[in-house]
């Protein structure tokens, strides 16, 4: 467990879920939840092997084949929506996508006239994106990028929750952005309906029923921020939040059988009605 909470610096933290292979810590002061890295056996470099993209999360990373066959799935449509929204807010020029994975967001960014660059700690990602799309990728942590590199837009779609150091990542993003540059972050909502249900099931069963909790708090997501957590992290770096919305994950990206997908579709529908959707999307300006 960290000495101080990454968001509010409080020491008032406890093990919230004990999930066999790792523990999830909760800050009692601000509600941030994170995986205790000391309890995890694998290191980040080992987590994101080729298997991560092509075997374990084959549904989530089907975009490359989709894009090549001109199939604009809901996930790719969402990517395009994010780019259009950025353009509406005045974004143009050099765009750095952090945690770029297989580069489909970068490919779409290029189509929307941005000059795209990727950043990913996965070697597989660098090779893949440079070979398939001819878009340069920095194979390193964001905070290792040379300080003289500057960008007009930094995007983090389903990346921020994977980092082990959110403060270093946001500091780096701020340093890499030009003045008035835009930062887009899409990350799970720590207070979503799914999070609340996972918490409830765990607590009501006294920690005996772990599986639903392990699905929501899986080992790849190190952090589960609340909306307030994100606002605090952005504002203390003088980012001005221009845009905030919630969204649901496209069902076609979810691994599992039709029963699980059907149940999730229902829960996503209810989540949207009660404003507790699984994803939060922030766009903030560096001022
Ligand atoms: Zn806290």
Please state the domain extents for the chain.
Answer: 43-190+225-286
Model pLDDT, residue 44: 64
**How many A from CA of 10 to the centre of ligand 1?**
5
Positive or negative torsion for Cα 122, 126, 127, 131: positive
**How many A from CA of 129 to the centre of ligand 1?**
37
**How many A from CA of 144 to the centre of ligand 1?**
26
**How many A from CA of 257 to the centre of ligand 1?**
36
- Name the nearest CA neighbour of 162 among 60, 81, 28: 60
Model pLDDT, residue 154: 98
**Which mean pLDDT values do the consecutive 10-residue runs of the chain (287 residues) have?**
95 95 96 94 71 74 84 91 97 97 96 97 93 96 93 97 95 97 98 97 96 93 97 97 94 83 92 96 97
**26's tokens:** 């909760």
Backbone angles phi, psi at 163, to 5 degrees: -70, 160
**221's tokens:** 């997501």
CATH placement of domain 43-190+225-286: 3.40.50.150
**How many A from CA of 107 to the centre of ligand 1?**
37
Model pLDDT, residue 107: 96
**How many A from CA of 86 to the centre of ligand 1?**
30
Q: Using CA atoms, how far apart are residues 53 and 154, in angstroms rounded to an integer?
A: 22
Model pLDDT, residue 144: 94
**How many A from CA of 2 to the centre of ligand 1?**
11
**How many A from CA of 6 to the centre of ligand 1?**
7
Cβ pair 278, 268 in contact under 8 A: yes
Model pLDDT, residue 47: 74
Model pLDDT, residue 67: 87
Cβ pair 137, 103 in contact under 8 A: yes
């Amino acid at each position: 467990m960290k000495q101080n909470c990454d968001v509010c610096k409080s020491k008032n933290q406890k093990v919230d879920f004990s999930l066999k292979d790792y523990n999830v810590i909760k800050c009692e002061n601000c509600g941030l939840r994170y995986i205790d890295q000391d309890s995890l056996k694998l290191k980040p470099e080992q987590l994101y092997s080729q298997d991560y993209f092509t075997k374990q999360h084959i549904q989530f990373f089907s975009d490359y084949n989709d894009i090549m066959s001109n199939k604009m799935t809901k996930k790719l449509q969402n990517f395009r929506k994010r780019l259009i929204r950025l353009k509406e807010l005045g974004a143009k020029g050099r765009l750095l996508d952090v945690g770029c994975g297989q580069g489909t967001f970068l490919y779409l960014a290029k189509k929307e006239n941005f000059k795209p660059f990727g950043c990913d700690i996965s070697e597989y990602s660098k090779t893949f994106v440079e070979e398939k799309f001819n878009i340069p990728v920095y194979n390193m942590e964001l905070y290792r990028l040379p300080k003289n590199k500057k960008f007009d837009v930094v995007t983090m779609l389903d990346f921020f929750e994977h980092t082990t150091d959110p403060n270093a990542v946001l500091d780096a993003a701020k340093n890499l952005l030009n003045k008035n540059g835009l930062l887009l972050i899409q990350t799970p909502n720590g207070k979503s309906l799914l999070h609340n249900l996972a918490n409830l099931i765990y607590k009501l069963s006294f920690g005996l029923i772990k599986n639903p909790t392990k699905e929501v708090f899986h080992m790849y997501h190190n952090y589960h921020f609340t909306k307030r957590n994100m606002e605090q992290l952005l504002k203390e770096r003088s980012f001005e939040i221009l845009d905030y919305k919630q969204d649901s994950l496209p069902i076609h990206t979810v691994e599992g059988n039709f029963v699980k997908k059907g149940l999730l579709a229902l829960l996503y529908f209810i989540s949207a009605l009660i404003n507790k959707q699984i994803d939060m999307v922030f766009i903030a300006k560096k001022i």
